[in-house]
Chains A and B, each alone.
Chain A
Amino acid sequence: MKAWFDLYQQHTTLRHMNDREAANEVRQVFVRHSEEHYALFKRNASARLLEARDPRTSVTYTLTRDRAGEALTLDTLPEPTRRAVALKHARLTVLLRFDRKRDHLQELAVMLTGIRHDDTPLEFAVHLPHDLEEGKHPNGDRDGLGACGHAALHCHVAPTLDTEPKVRVPLPPLRPAQIVEWVLSQVVPTGEFEPAPWLERPRKI
């Protein structure tokens, strides 16, 4: 069980980050994916990451304000990239909550809602639950019976988020920007998004 305990510790350590730095990293991902011929977002998606400061010390960043998420511009991708994309529509939602005074990531959700070419739905959802331990949520981010089945930073992939079984895939300790990149790379699998260094270094036989 040590590996699962270690992973939980890594997720706890991951939470220590400066919110402005983390938000800027996410914005840079949007900028990178809004440029050139394979742009996945309309211009200024980076500007729509809404910062809201709560007087009770927390600060939130949400994409987008209207809760519908930011649409990916899949229909304008060039061939052959467009053909390689399994979804015809997709929207990305990013939710980050920090305790600014403690440089602490309290909660994260990065979700992509998509429609496949056969009109069936597909959801990606990466969650890091709030670690606040309080009356309504006494276990903080420790759900379930153990770290093995309930890693704090985890991902669901299913037609809907209510589809049973609600598979919960553990993720390594990735920062918010890296999670956004990973989610995007799952729906737009091209070398441009996901440069693979091993392609330049052939395996030794």
Chain B
Amino acid sequence: MREPGVALAGAIERDEGGLAIVTCPDLDLREWLVREVESLVSTSARAFRTASVREALDRPEHMALLIPVDEAEVVRELDACRDQALEPPRTQPIVLFLLRDGDGHRTLALEAPSAWSWASGSDVDPEQLAELDVEAERTVFCDETGEEPEAWLARWRGDEVPRTAEHYARAFWAFTLERR
């Protein structure tokens, strides 16, 4: 699986002063994703929350966490004013939070080619990436250890495996993948 935190940090840092899009499944999770971004970024980014494109553009040395009230309108506004983000050059990105399958994404795909190209490659859906594919991960586990998670855990629970940090981590993962 791709690491959601790494993908999120990568999208934000890919283009210094660029536009990154974080896709959120719903409004409740959007708030958590905003907090996650706040917890990930360096204090020197001086991240702040705003619902206004104008305010985001006016503070090029701060990371703007752009949380729209009207997603479609915000995307259109970004599309119209990309040039204003070039002068003075931004040193911190704008991070735009959009709902999955929402108006913002629809507008971005159909009406906002400039904003789409601005964000090109810097969009991420961390909640989707965090979804565990248990069967795929079981295959990886078997390839790495030569055993099914249940067989490895049986040896661990029987004190047949030395207690090391690495083995604790493997046991933790095996428990996650164990069939119950």
A residues in contact (CB < 8 Å) with B: 20-21, 23-25, 27-28, 31, 34-35, 43-44, 46-56, 58-60, 62, 65, 67-69, 91, 93, 95, 97, 107, 109, 111-113, 123, 125, 130, 136, 160-162
Looking at B60-68, B96-104, B161-169, the stretch in contact with chain A turns out to be B161-169
Interface of chain B: mostly helix, strand, loop or mixed: helix
Report the Cα distance A130→B176, complex, angstroms. 12
Q: A51-B4, A55-B132 are in contact. Are A161 and B164 (CB under 8 A)?
A: yes
B44→A35 contact, CB < 8 A: yes
Q: Which of B1-16 contact A (CB under 8 A)?
A: 1, 3-6, 8-10
Size of the B side of the interface (Cβ < 8 Å), in residues, is 37
Collect the chain A residues with CB atoms within 8 Å of residue B38's CB: 24
Establish whether residues B36 and A53, one from each chain, have CB atoms under 8 Å apart when the complex forms. no
Cβ–Cβ < 8 Å partners of A28 in chain B: 39
- B132 neighbours in A (Cβ, 8 Å): 52-55
Closest Cβ of chain A to B40, distance in Å, is 5
B8, B126, B173, B175 pick with most chain A CB within 10 angstroms: B175
Main secondary structure of the interface of A (DSSP, over half): mixed
- The one of B3, B40, B42 that contacts A65, using a Cβ cutoff of 8 Å: B3
9 nearest CB pairs, A to B: A47-B9, A24-B39, A161-B163, A47-B5, A67-B169, A111-B165, A27-B39, A51-B130, A52-B132
| Shortest Cβ gap from B74 to chain A (Å) | 25
- Contact partners of A68 in chain B: CB under 8 A: 166
Judge if B170 is at the interface, Cβ distance under 8 Å. Answer: yes
Q: Identify which of B5, B32, B131, B173 contacts A20 (C-beta below 8 A).
A: B32
B168 and A125: CB pair below 8 A? Answer: yes
Contact of B165 with A113 in the complex, beta carbons under 8 Å: yes
A47 / chain B contacts, CB cutoff of 8 Å = 3, 5-6, 8-10, 40
User: Which residue of B is nearest A28, CB measured?
Assistant: B39
Of the residues B39, B131, B172, contact of A107 by C-beta under 8 Å: B172
Contacting residues, chain B, for A123 (C-beta < 8 A): 164-165
Tell me whether A69 and B165 are in contact (CB under 8 A).
yes
| B124-180 contacts to A (CB < 8 Å) | 126, 130-132, 134, 157, 162-166, 168-170, 172-173, 175-176, 180
Does A50 lie within 8 Å of B36, measured CB to CB? Answer: no
Q: Which residues of A contact B172 (CB under 8 A)?
A: 60, 62, 95, 97, 107, 109
A67–B166 touching, CB < 8 Å:
yes
On whether the beta carbons of A53 and B131 are closer than 8 Å, the reply is: yes
User: Which of B1, B4, B165 is within 8 Å of A93, CB to CB?
Assistant: B165
A20 to B36, CA, bound (A): 8
Contact check: which of B5, B35, B166, B175 meets A50 at CB < 8 Å?
B5
| A97 vs B126: C-alpha distance when bound (angstroms) | 18
Report whether A31 and B41 are in contact in the complex, using a CB–CB cutoff of 8 Å: yes
Is B165 touching A52 in the complex (CB atoms < 8 A)?
A: no
Contact A46 B165 (CB under 8 A): no
Closest chain B residue, CB of each to CB of A132: B175
In the complex, chain B residues whose CB is within 8 Å of the CB of A109: 168-169, 172
Closest Cβ of chain B to A175, distance in Å, is 14
